[in-house]
Structure 1
Amino acid sequence: MERFVDAAPDVRLWTESLGPADAPPLLLIMGAQASGLGWPDELVDLLTARHHVIRYDHRDTGRSTWSFAERPYRITDLAQDAIAVLDGLGVARAHIVGMSLGGMLTQLLVADHPDRLLSATLIGTHALSTVPYTRADGTRVPPEELPGIDARLLELWARPVEELDLEAELDRRVAHWRLLNGDRLPFDAAYFRELERRVVRHTGHHSVNDAHARADPSGMDRTERLARTDVPTLVVSAPAEPVAPPPHDRHLAQAVRGARVVEIPGMGHALPREVHGPLAAAILEHTEPIGHTRRPLNGNTG
C-alpha cells in the first residue's frame, strides 16, 4: 500500500507498506540520494515473510518533496523524517534497518528515540562516535585514521552534476553501482540498470541533485548515547565494502553497546541478488527473538 505522510511544513514523503499488516513492523532507511526503491523487491519480499515492511523516499528523492534548493535542511532532519513516517503510519515501535546514510540516521534514532525501536540493523556505515577502534592486539586507532572511501568513488563523486539524456544517465548510475558493488561478487550491469530504470519510472524523471551531500552534517556525534543504548543492534559486515571498509564494521560494533557482527560473504556497498538471501536471513535471525509490537500510537490494541 502506498501512502504519503507529512514530515514538515510543505514536505511530504512517499511510503510503501508491504507484507502482513499484523506482523512486526520493519522500517527500511536507504542511503544518500537514494529512493526507497533502492531496497530491491526481491529482498523486501524475503523480509515480508515475518514483517510488515515499510520503505520510503527521503526528501529530494523519488516521489517525496524535492525542496532543498528553497528550504535547506540538516542531516538530522532526515532522521526526524523517519519518525514522521512511523507517526504517519501509526507505528509505535519498529525494527529499523539502515544502509549507508540510512545507517547513520538509524544510529541517530537509536540514540535519540530508543523508545521507537524494537531493534536496529546497520549496513555499510560509519559510527557516529569518537571512540577509538581497538585492534585485536589492544592498540587503539582514532576513527579518523581508519581506512577511507575508495579513491575511485571519491573521483566519481567529485565530478560536476550534469543533465544527461535518460540512457546516458542510466550509464552513469550503472558505473556508480559497479564501484559500489566491490570486487568480490560478479557485477550484473543489466540488473542494476533495470533497478535504476524502475526508480526513474517511480520518480517520474531522471534528474539528479546533490541535496544530501550539501545538507548540514553538524550535530551528529552520539558517542555517549550509543555507548549506553539498550537497543538490540546488528552490524552487517561487508568484506568488499568500498565506502565504509573494514574495520569500520568492527569499530561500529565497539561503539554501540551490545552490538554484534554478522558477515555477508562478498558483499560490498550494493544489494545484488547474491546477498539477498544471506542478508535477509541475518536480519530475520536478529529480529525474530525480540518480540512483536504493532500497537497504534494511541496505545490501543487491536
Structure 2
Amino acid sequence: MQQYVETAPGVRLWTEQRGPADAPPLLLVMGAQASGIGWPEPFVDALAEHHRVIRYDHRDTGRSTWSFDTDPYPISALAEDVVALLDGLGIARAHLAGLSLGGMLGQLVLADHPERVASATLMGTNALSTRPYTAPDGTETPVEELPGIAPEILEFWARPVEDHGEEAELDRRVAHWRLLAGGRLPFDPEWYRDLERQIIAHTGTYTPPSAHSRADPDGLLRTEELAANRVPVQVVVAPAEPVFPPPHPHHLARCLNAVRVTEIPGMGHALPPAVQGPLAAAILAHTGATG
C-alpha cells in the first residue's frame, strides 16, 4: 500500500507499507540523498513476513516533496520527519532500522523520542557522541582520531556532477556503488544498475538529489541522551565498510548501551543480494527478541 503523509507544512512524504497490517511496525530509514526504493525488494519482503514494513522517501528524494531550494531545512528536520511520519500513519511505537544517515536519524529519535522506538538496528553510521572509544584492552581513542572516510570516496564526492544523459548518470552511480561496496564481495554492476533504474523510474528523473549534502548538520550531537539510552539497540558491523569503518560500530554500540553487535560477513556500505538474507535475519532476531 502506498500513501503520502504530511510531516511539515508543505512537505509530503511518499510511503509504502508491506506485510500484515496488524504485525509490529518496522520503519526503514534510508541514507542521505537516498529514496526508500534503495531498500531492495527481496530484503523488504523477508522483513514483511513478520512485520508491517514501512519504507519511505526522505524529503528531496523520490516522490516526496522537493523543497530545499526554496525552503532550506537542517538535517535534524529529517529526524522530525520520522516522528511525524509515525504520527501520520497512526503508529505509536515502531521498530527502526537505519542505514548511514538513516542511522544518525535513528539516534536522534532514540535520544529525543525514545518512547516511539520499540527497538533499533543501526548500520553504516557513526555515533552522535563526543564520548571517546574504549577498545577491549582499555585504550581510549578520541572521536576525532577514529578512522575517517576512505580517500577514494571523498575524492568521488568532491567531483562535480555533470549531466551527460541517463546512461552516463547510471555509469556514475554504479561507479559510486563499487566504492561503497567495499571490495570483499564480488561486485555485480548490473545488479546496482538495475537498482538505480528502479530508483530513477520511481523518482521520474535521473537528476541526482543534493539537498542533504547542503543541509545544515549542526546540532546533531546527543552525547548524554545516548548514554542514557535504554531502548534495545543492535549495531551492525560491516567489515568492508568504507565510510564509517570499524571500530565505529563498536564505538556506537558503547555510546548507546547496545544489547547486540552483529557482524554481516563481507558487508560494506551497500545492500547487495549476498548481505540481504543475513541482515534481514539479524533484524528479525533483534525485533523478535525485543517484542
| TM-score, normalised with respect to structure 1 | 0.95
Quote the offset at 1:44 in angstroms: 0.3
**Separation in 1, partners of 2:104, 2:206:** 26
Does 2:262 match 1:230? no
Q: Match for 1:39: what amino acid?
A: W
The residue number in structure 1 matching 2:202 is 202
**Separation in 1, partners of 2:274, 2:239:** 14
**Separation in 2, partners of 1:133, 1:102:** 22
The residue number in structure 1 matching 2:156 is 156
The residue correspondences of 1:7-156 to structure 2 (distance < 5 A) are 7-156=7-156
Q: Is the 8 A contact 2:95 2:119 kept in 1?
A: yes
**Separation in 2, partners of 1:186, 1:65:** 36
Q: Secondary structure, in 3 states, of the residue corresponding to 1:234?
A: strand
Q: Is the 8 A contact 2:32 2:100 kept in 1?
A: yes
Sort the Cα spacing of 1:290 and 1:137 in 2 relative to 1 into closer, same or farther, 3 A. Answer: closer
The gaps in structure 1 that reach 5 residues or longer are 292-302
Quote the offset at 1:163 in angstroms: 2.0
The residue number in structure 2 matching 1:254 is 254
Q: Is the 8 A contact 1:97 1:106 kept in 2?
A: yes
**Separation in 1, partners of 2:7, 2:160:** 30
| TM-score, normalised with respect to structure 2 | 0.99
**Separation in 2, partners of 1:271, 1:211:** 23
CA RMSD of aligned residues (A): 0.8
The residue number in structure 2 matching 1:192 is 192
The gaps in structure 2 that reach 5 residues or longer are none
The residue number in structure 2 matching 1:220 is 220
Q: Is the 8 A contact 1:161 1:209 kept in 2?
A: no
How many residue pairs end up in the alignment? Answer: 291
Q: Is the 8 A contact 2:235 2:258 kept in 1?
A: no
Is the deviation greater in 100-109 or in 129-138?
A: 129-138
**Separation in 1, partners of 2:58, 2:10:** 14
Quote the offset at 1:160 in angstroms: 1.4
Q: Is the 8 A contact 2:98 2:122 kept in 1?
A: yes
Quote the offset at 1:161 in angstroms: 2.4
Q: Secondary structure, in 3 states, of the residue corresponding to 2:265?
A: coil
Listed one character per residue, the Cα deviations across residues 23-65 of structure 1 (whole Å, up to 9, x for unaligned) are 0000000000000000000100110111000000001100001
The residue number in structure 2 matching 1:280 is 280
The residue number in structure 1 matching 2:245 is 245
Query: Percent identity over the alignment?
Result: 66
Q: Is the 8 A contact 2:29 2:96 kept in 1?
A: yes
Listed one character per residue, the Cα deviations across residues 236-271 of structure 1 (whole Å, up to 9, x for unaligned) are 000000000000010001110244210000000000
Listed one character per residue, the Cα deviations across residues 107-138 of structure 1 (whole Å, up to 9, x for unaligned) are 00000000100001101000000000011221
Listed one character per residue, the Cα deviations across residues 73-121 of structure 1 (whole Å, up to 9, x for unaligned) are 0111000111111111111100000000000000000000001000011
Q: Secondary structure, in 3 states, of the residue corresponding to 1:3?
A: strand
Q: Match for 2:227: what amino acid?
A: A
Moved over 6 A (4+): none
